[in-house]
Structure 1
Amino acid sequence: MHVRGIVKATIIAELATTALVGLLVLAMWLVLGDAWVRDIPWGSCALGATGVAADYFRKDPPNRRRGVQAGLAVLLVLVLAAMVAADQWLPSEPGGGMSATVGLPIALPVANGVFAFVAGPPPVR
């Protein structure tokens, strides 16, 4: 049950961060113009999901170090695979950052789920 909960919380955190970044970009576009919007690192939309993993890490699950290693390994493999697929099939200019924008939101829920699975459920206090 704890794995499903952390995956759901990760997806919700990603959506909330995406909405927040979208509102920030809209405000920047209205005030500062189009040139500022192109320089936004769109992969930053996934930063809200890292807070979910940090909260779970603070709950002190029994195998949290192994869980972090497994989660980071899965994250690396999935982000690289998604970036390669995005470079092949999504239109963007070279260095446009579209592949990171696609790769992180896809890989973070899975990586957080693997982290929670390997780390085990936190002790009940």
Structure 2
Amino acid sequence: MRRLISAQCALPRIRAEIEIPGGAPGWLGWLVATDAGGAVVGVAAGGVPVPGEGEVYALAVAPGSRRTGVGTALLAAATDRMRAYDAREQRVKLPVDGDPALPFYLHQGFTALADPARLSRPLP
């Protein structure tokens, strides 16, 4: 999560997105999961940058909270937001081929596109 936050939440990036007239196109914001004590255990971000096509920009779960349903819940919440903006397909780009998150996304119904690090699934 620290790598994700340092890349996605850098002040210059946030400043640039805020300064876009009307906001960043298709940006739906961040979702944050916390434990009972309020500690952040997962984050997700996404949007609908192209009509009909949702994009998972980021999804990360703290190591101690993996395999507990946090990632699945965050993906489901992001998917619901995308559907509300008429997304019929959802995509994600993994940082590298063979990324450790690949099994998670495959289990969620994603399949590889021409680029094996780029995955997609239809949204019913």
Give me the TM-score of the superposition, normalised by structure 1. 0.28
Which structure carries more relative contact order (alpha carbon 8 Å, separation 6+)?
1
Instruction: Write 1 or 2 for the structure with the bigger share of helix.
Output: 1
Give me the TM-score of the superposition, normalised by structure 2. 0.29
